Structures are given as C-alpha cells and as structure tokens.
C-alpha cells in the first residue's frame, strides 16, 4: 500500500536571492494546487490516513478531469471503501459510465467491495446496471462527478478530445503530473513550455524547483544549452542553482 504524502501547496521553488533581486521583481510566486504524491499509477490501494477528506476531494477532481484513467477510478473506490464512505456509490456510477457495459469482471469485484457501504436500493440499481449490460436506465447520479444528472437511455457523459487539454496551461499540466509522482514528465512539460515562452518567469520558477530537488547538474546544463537559443530572463537564478550544486559537490569531495 502506498502512503500518500501530506498534502502540499507548491510554490514550486523556495525563494532565492536571484529571484528576489531586481531582475526577479516581476516574478509572482505561483502556487500550484494542493497535490498528493503517488509513487506510481500501478498502486491501486492508497493509504491516506489522516488526509482522507483531502484525498477524497482530490480523486473526485482527478476523475472528472481524466475520466478514462481507470486506475484513478479504482484508487478512488478503494479509498472510499477503506473510509466506509457512502459516496462510493457515486464513484461506482462514474466507473460504470466510463466503461459503458465493458469490464464486467472489474465492475462486479468493485461492487462487491462496496456492498457494505451501499443502501439496498443503490446496490440493486448498480447490480441491475451490470445485468443490463451497461444500460443507464434508473442509474442514479447521486455522488457522481461525471453524470449529467439525467436518467435515460442516452449516454450520460461525453468525452471531449484534446481541445480543452490544448488550452490547459503547462503549469497546470505539470502540477497534475507532479501530483501523480510523474516528475520526469512534469520536467519535460515545463522545459518545453520555457523554450516556447521563455518570457514567462513563473515557468522558470516551477522548473527550477524540480531541478532544485533532483540536483542533477548534467540535466540542468543540458537544458541551459538549449535555453541559449532563446532569451533567458531568469539567467541569474539558473546560475545560482548551478553554483549551489557545485558548492555541495565541493563539500562532499
């Protein structure tokens, strides 16, 4: 079982003299959303002891944003089962809607897991849904983050392709990637964003924090070589980070 770290609000980096200097006066500290770091998506049982309410909210938002990520649904349902939370009904509805008649074995296993937390009528409706091979008749939307709230033969949710994602700010994308422990992906997202819009100091700000934690000088040097092809308004901050890492190496040597 993976332990979810305490929720953290990320300004992605600690303040540094370079960023607080005249050059960095225009930097606005960009706080990313509270995030839970999950070691890897293969872990389906999440230990959220002490942070159950925050984890519950986190998973509801995550499922709403990425409904096709089945592992998120399973983590959410397992979390709510462990909490004995009646909102597990809505989590099951969301999974059933996404699968739309497929994945019967998974649905049956998770419905059996949730049975103790479900009222008799809610359990009957979900069981009938499986027997009807995905029919949405009489499937309640209570607690669901994906249902339109209508009960009919129509598909209750519709997946939009990447139009919205294309408009999503890279800081938001990187925040979500960090939330799931995808540090390398978040770094690559921010590197591409900085190269595309080097004037955005908040992108430098976020990327510097990732490098500050990784302390991999070769990666930093390689990225700075790429950054030489564009303007670099945060050059002092980058050089300061390299100097900080060099000092650590000198001490350890």
Cβ contact 177:12 at 8 Å: no
Residue range(s) defining the domain that contains residue 182: 19-31+163-252
Question: First and final CA of the chain: distance in angstroms?
Answer: 38
Tell me, yes or no, whether 72 lies in a domain.
no
In the predicted model, residues of the chain with pLDDT beneath 50 are 2-42, 149-167
- Give the single-character DSSP code of 9: E
The pLDDT of residue 10 is: 33
- Give the single-character DSSP code of 159: -
In 3-state terms the chain splits into helix, strand, coil percentages (rounded to 5) of 55, 5, 40
What is the residue-wise DSSP string for 71-97? HHHHHHHHHHHHHT-TTHHHHHHHHHH
Q: How many domains does the chain have?
A: 1
Tell me, yes or no, whether 212 lies in a domain.
yes
Tell me, yes or no, whether 50 lies in a domain.
no
Tell me, yes or no, whether 93 lies in a domain.
no
Tell me, yes or no, whether 107 lies in a domain.
no
Tell me, yes or no, whether 204 lies in a domain.
yes
Tell me, yes or no, whether 91 lies in a domain.
no
The pLDDT of residue 173 is: 79
Q: What is the pTM of this model?
A: 0.48
The pLDDT of residue 59 is: 87
Tell me, yes or no, whether 118 lies in a domain.
no
């Amino acid at each position: 079982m993976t332990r979810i770290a305490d929720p953290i609000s990320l300004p992605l980096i600690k303040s540094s003299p370079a960023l607080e200097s005249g050059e960095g006066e225009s930097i606005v500290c960009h706080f990313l959303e509270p995030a839970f770091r999950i070691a890897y998506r293969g872990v389906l049982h999440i230990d959220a002891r002490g942070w159950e309410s925050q984890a519950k909210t986190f998973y509801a938002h995550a499922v709403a944003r990425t409904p096709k990520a089945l592992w998120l649904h399973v983590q959410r349902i397992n979390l709510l089962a462990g909490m004995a939370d009646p909102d597990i009904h809505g989590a099951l509805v969301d999974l059933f809607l996404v699968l739309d008649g497929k994945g019967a074995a998974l649905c049956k296993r998770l419905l059996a897991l949730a049975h103790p937390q479900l009222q008799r009528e809610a359990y009957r409706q979900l069981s009938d849904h499986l027997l009807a091979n995905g029919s949405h008749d009489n499937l309640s939307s209570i607690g669901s983050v994906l249902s339109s709230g209508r009960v009919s033969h129509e598909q209750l949710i519709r997946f939009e392709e990447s139009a919205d994602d294309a408009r999503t700010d890279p800081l938001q994308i990187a925040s979500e990637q960090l939330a799931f422990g995808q540090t390398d992906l978040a770094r690559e997202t921010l590197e591409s964003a900085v190269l595309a819009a080097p004037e955005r100091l908040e992108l430098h700000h976020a990327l510097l924090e990732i490098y500050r934690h990784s302390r991999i000088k070769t990666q930093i040097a390689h990225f700075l070589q790429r950054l030489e092809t564009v303007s670099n308004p945060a050059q002092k901050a980058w050089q300061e980070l390299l100097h900080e890492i060099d000092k650590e190496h000198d001490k350890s040597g």
